[in-house]
Amino acid sequence: MVALSESFSTMTIRTVTARAGVAVATTIAAAVMLLGACLPDRAAALDTRPPSTPVKLVFIHHSTGEQWLADGHGGLGRALRDERYFVSDTTYGWGSDGRPADLPSSRGEPIGSTTDIGDWWTWFRGPDAALYQAALATWSERSCSYSRRADPGGRNEIVMFKSCFPNSDLRGSASAPPPAIGSNPLRGQACGGGDFTVANAKGIYLDLLHYFGAHQEQLFVVVVAPPMQHLTAAGSARAFADWLVDDWLDAYPHRNVFVFDYFTVLTSNGGRASVDDLGRSGGHHHRMWNGRVQHRSAGGRSTLAYPSAGGDDHPNRAGDRKATAELLPLLNAAYHEWKGDARPPDVVGPQTYAPRRAAVRRGRSVRLRFRVTDDVSATALVSVRIVDRRGRVKTTLWLGRRATGSLQSVSWRCTLPRGRYRFQVLARDASGNAQVKRGATTLIVR
């Protein structure tokens, strides 16, 4: 099993944070889950390198997924391409008009148009599930626009699926027991209404494990539905997201299921909706951090922190770019754990350099140059920090993911008082390891 969470690990490291006077645990856990075996005394690190050869992945989604994949928005399609995944996808209308065939309908619509939580029972467990899955396994087309690599041939090894944001508006008690699937009123139904409860949603996902367990030739990537700005019961939505990551797979004995908490990733930002908090120690994350998996949702909000213009609940570019960067190392690790081909993990951080001093007149722009090197990661999360003579941080520039090895730069408009400063280059590699050598040089403001 690959839960990439607290589940099935024999040791969990916890850091405790206060939220309204209540101790909240932030889980940092490893994901080496072996049936019939225990983890070593110290939680193991993971192999976050891309697959050695191209891997076919199909993504079931709707409009939020379309934006996440798009090169000019979330960039997920291009990022998957660069990590050696060949991506195809399904969206509205898939399963009709010969795309790929006229499959049986779901709720009176093409199966591709139905992706609510209750619909996953139809896709994977319903009376026509075999037809849907057979078509999905061989689907190799794009349903929206994004960059991808050449088709390597063969079947889709990875099935990734996600419901849209209305599916985060769950109701009911988070502790209510899930019903048996035969009496679950959410089975095959749309989201919303009195039956759209945490307990019923749990029942749907628990039943899916029967299909996943019978098909270990595929890796199933479950993406938690994204949040909205206004939720009927935000606490219920948060509890369900945490349950999927931390508890759902507790009794599942295989390695072919991975959960990515898209919900949690989108519930904190860098101070405003257009700025992400990628690479920051605080905030909500599902990522590699210091060589381990970190699922962090302590404190703050349980609603969308990245609304699009006009108050739209589709995540904006900043939020989806954060989600892309946090997903990829976890997906690589899940793939290797499923395949059983993990190499020794990367436990050494990158080195950073600031090769040229800089000078600028106050109120003008200056180009700050830097280089990051790493023996394993092709990219790293980079920030530039400007400090005064006493070492006090005056400005931090969060640059997101940058290529390693080559000389890079960032243009910055200086508003600092005249004087002598230092700019420092910080970085974390794909495994979340911080730099082992920090480059720095002089910045003169005239």
Domain range summary for the chain, segments of one domain joined by + = 13-339, 351-445
Is residue 39 within 8 A of residue 12, CB to CB? The reply is: no
User: How many CB atoms sit inside 10 A of residue 168's CB?
Assistant: 29
Contact by Cβ (8 Å): 263, 64 = no
Phi, psi (deg, nearest 5) at residue 270: -90, 25
- Residue length of the chain: 446
Beta strands in 215-256 (DSSP E): 219-223
371: which strand partners?
353, 407
Which residues lie closer than 8 Å to 302 by C-beta, 6 or more apart?
227, 231, 234, 235, 237, 238, 267
| Strand arrangement of the beta sheet that strand 13-19 belongs to | 13-19, 22-29, 292-296, 285-289
Q: Which fold has domain 351-445?
A: Immunoglobulin-like (2.60.40)
Q: Reduced to 3 DSSP states, what percent helix, strand and coil does the chain have, rounded to the nearest 5? A: 20, 30, 50
Q: What is the spatial distance between Cα 336 and Cα 341, in angstroms, rounded to a whole number?
A: 5
Alpha helices by DSSP H, 46-191: 63-69, 76-82, 119-124, 129-138
CB 87 within 8 A of CB 69: yes
Running DSSP on this structure, what letter comes out for residue 436?
S
d(C-alpha 247, C-alpha 224), whole Å: 14
Closest CA relative to residue 55, chosen from 158, 162, 161, 133 = 158
Separation CA 416–CA 408 (nearest Å): 23
What angle is formed at CA 39 by the lines to CA 350 and CA 12, rounded to 5 degrees? 70
Q: What are phi and psi of 77, to 5 degrees?
A: -60, -50
The H or E element spanning position 88 is: strand 85-90
13-339 topology per CATH: Rossmann fold (3.40.50)
Phi, psi of 22 (to 5 degrees): -110, 135
User: Is residue 312 classed as helix, strand or coil in its secondary structure?
Assistant: strand
State pTM to two decimals.
0.89
- Residue 366, classed as helix, strand or coil, is strand
Please report, in tens digits, the pLDDT of each residue of the chain (446 residues total).
444 443 333 222 222 233 333 333 333 333 333 322 222 223 457 999 999 999 999 999 999 999 999 999 999 999 999 999 999 999 999 999 989 989 999 999 999 999 999 999 999 999 999 999 999 999 999 999 999 999 999 999 999 999 999 999 999 999 999 999 999 999 999 999 999 999 999 999 999 999 999 999 999 999 999 999 999 999 999 999 999 999 999 999 999 999 999 999 999 999 999 999 999 999 999 999 999 999 998 788 999 999 999 989 999 999 999 999 999 999 999 999 999 999 999 999 999 999 999 999 999 999 999 999 999 999 999 999 999 999 999 999 999 999 999 999 999 999 999 999 999 999 999 999 999 999 999 999 99
Give the Cα separation of 31 and 19 in Å (integer): 27
* CA–CA dist 328, 219 (Å, integer): 15
Strand partners, 285: 296
